[in-house]
Chain A
Amino acid sequence: MALDLLKMNGTPLSKQRFTWREMVAKPISKLDDDAFTRVRVILMNGIETEALRFQHACARMNGELRPALAQIRRVEQHQATQVNWLLGADHSPLETTIAYEQVAVEVTAALAQNEPDDYLAQAYRFGLLEDFDHLYRYSALMDRMEGKDANNILQSYTDVLPGRPTAVEHRDPLDDVREPFKAKDAAFLTKLNATVLMASEHQTHDYYMNIGPLFADPVARLLYAEIASIEEQHVTHYESLIDPDQTWLEQWLMHEATEVYTYYSCVQHESNPRIKAIWERMLDYELGHLQAVRELFKKHEKRDPMEVLDGSLPEPINFASQREFVRQTLTNEVDLRARGTQFVPLDQESDASREYRAYLNSQGSPTDTIAKGYHWFPGGELARKVVTIGARH
């Protein structure tokens, strides 16, 4: 059933509150919960932290909105806490990293397929193949440093294979800035998709920047440094797809609508009843935020919020393995490169990107080093000779 954004007012802001015990509740099970429950937890933390990031930037530029931003942002903070604290500490930082890349691969692939704008869909497929490669590199690190199998986290939903090699993903900054959609012409879904991916990639960047230095192994420290640099490129790539001529309130409306859309998608797919109840509560809270921002929009811009929003939400995000789409994209587009705002064949890449990368990699590429000769195998590469694949089925 589609959600009607005009009729659903959600929980009033004054009723949105938490105790510490609610925020710090029981985590999901790393072993027994479905990998897509973890995908949703990570994605929603990304959406919530983007809400905080956007609202702080907005407050710095808009004095009259500061009180309303402060009120809503406090709730977002506590929502982010409750969501992110669902990840148990039995996830090592590297296991959580594998899960972050699974989010990037599966969610980007799902959105690329439903994106109505051809250019944005192409941009999503472009980013997808790069995150897909990161998953392979981190899996090699986990196997070779910790002696663990990435598939314990991925649960066989996502392939562990090389994508566009990370070593060649390094581009001149000007080759990461894309053409934005025009908000007045863009589909509601286009605006939602772009906000989701910008949020998700930004949190991935921040996560790698925070945990990279926690590793003792210099190979791990190098690997996180290299991939974090690509995530910074991806934030540039995704945020530049968004129309910069939207007003602050238009963008705030879209951020709240994105939160509603993503929690709604989580509710539709969640297999763990306890977590589903959390998504439902958060959805009601976000509907409350959207309602509040709709009123602010009317008051300050003297316009109808429906100029920005649609009455009903699009189909929910398809939280499921996108294996065939990813493989097909890999086959067709792994050799694409970016030149300015365009995606071009390998031989048309800019000299600026080639030169930039040549220096960066001139003392070696960590992502190449970690994965030399690496083939993923069930149970880790040490098990290659002894495990009979499919013995249980």
Chain B
Amino acid sequence: METTTRIGMNKTGIKSSPFDTRALLEVSDEAAPSVPGPESELVALKMSYAKEADALGSVPPPATVKGTVKSGVDAIKGARPQVVFDKIAERLAFERTGVRLYEALLVKHAATDGLESIVPAAELVKIRDDEAAHFRLLVESMESLGGDPTAQTPCAAATGIAGQGLMQLVNDPRTNFLQSLQALHIAELTDVDGWAMLIEIARSSGHTKLAEAFQRAEQQEERHLANVRKWMLGLTKAELGKA
């Protein structure tokens, strides 16, 4: 795997093709738009779809009261339990995908020589295991509230859509370890704040026990983010020769 940034035959910018670019600009400057009018019509079109659109979907109803009491440590409270279910399901989906992202990153780590001094594999394994533990915590939390941890809720679906690019980036064998870390950087930034918000939502909906349980996860995510930043800077500086 190529790990260094090099100068090469990149052809994407206009400065790579000065003659053709001159010809391109001659025509481009003279041509008129085929339809006159402001770009705002495009916004109006999108607005009309936005106003008519159905939602992504709904949250499934909680389990029976009987089931909740039987298994529950902190039965669901409030008139709109679906809001809490949806946000837990979002974090749950994120953490489960997070495990897979770190597994993919571990592959890249193993395929790259010379990383260990800056990014110890054991640290990556630890984070992967933390994400798995967070996923299990959320599964148990959802069950304790009488929710279905296997359901894909609207916020879980939304986080899945947002995560597609991260998965693609880490799994591409051509992206090097540092480029792959960009995906984990986005993921960890989101994760730290996602947990912080989930704790606040749990507290404000009366689930203090859950909020306490979530705090440890939030602290771990803060350490993950700090590590990812440290590794990104460390690897970049090492390439600059300034490590």
Which residues of A come within 8 Å of B, CB atoms? Answer: 26, 29-32, 88-90, 92, 144-149, 151-152, 215-218, 220, 378-380, 382-383, 385-388, 391-392
Contact = CB atoms under 8 A, between A and B. Distances in A.
A104 B55 CA distance: 28
Given A32-B57, A90-B56, A216-B172, A391 B71 contact: yes
Contacts of B168: 215-217
A378 B150 contact: yes
B181 interface: no
Contacts of A388: 71, 143
Given A148-B160, A386-B140, A391-B71, A26 B54 contact: yes
Contacts of B153: 31
Interface stretch (B14-22, B26-34, B95-103, B233-241): B95-103
Contacts of A89: 161
A241 to B, nearest CB: 38
A145 B71 contact: no
**10 closest Cβ contacts across the A-B interface?**
A31-B57, A216-B172, A217-B171, A147-B97, A379-B150, A147-B100, A147-B96, A152-B152, A32-B57, A216-B168
B57 A383 contact: no
Given A31-B58, A90-B56, A152-B152, A385 B136 contact: yes
Given A31-B157, A383-B135, A391-B63, 6 more contacts: A26-B53, A31-B152, A152-B150, A216-B172, A379-B139, A386-B139
B100 A146 contact: yes
B139 A387 contact: yes
A29 B57 contact: yes
B149 A387 contact: yes
B173 interface: yes
Contacts of A145: 100, 104, 167, 171
A326 to B, nearest CB: 22
A144 B100 contact: yes
Contacts of B139: 379, 383, 386-387
Contact of B67 (A380, A382, A391): A391
B132 interface: yes
Interface size class of B (residues with CB under 8 A): 35 or more
Nearest to B52: A26
A386 B100 contact: no
Contact of B149 (A146, A215, A383): A383
A392 B67 contact: yes
Task: Specify which of B54, B71, B173, B175 lies most central, judged by the most chain A CB atoms within 10 Å of its CB.
Answer: B54
A25 B53 CA distance: 9
Interface of B: 52-58, 63, 67, 71, 93, 96-101, 103-104, 132, 135-136, 139-140, 143, 146, 148-154, 157, 160-161, 163-164, 167-169, 171-173, 175
Contacts of B56: 29-31, 88, 90
Contacts of B100: 144-147
A220 B170 CA distance: 13
Output the residue of A145, A151, A379 with the most chain B CB within 10 A.
A379
A108 B154 CA distance: 31
Nearest to B70: A391
Contacts of A147: 93, 96-101
A267 B136 CA distance: 43
A29 B152 contact: no
Contacts of B101: 147
B161 A90 contact: yes
Contacts of B55: 29
Contacts of B146: 392
A89 to B, nearest CB: 8
A144 B173 CA distance: 17
Contacts of A216: 167-169, 171-173, 175
Given A92-B160, A148-B97, A387-B139, A29 B149 contact: no
Tell which of B136, B153, B157 has the most Cβ of chain A within 10 Å. B157
B170 to A, nearest CB: 8
9 contacts: A31-B152, A32-B57, A92-B160, A145-B100, A146-B97, A217-B167, A217-B172, A379-B96, A387-B150
Contacts of B171: 145, 215-218, 220
A392 B63 contact: yes
A391 B147 CA distance: 9
A30 B135 CA distance: 23
In this complex, which of A31, A144, A220, A380 has the most chain B Cβ atoms within 10 angstroms of its Cβ? A31
Contacts of A386: 136, 139-140, 143, 149
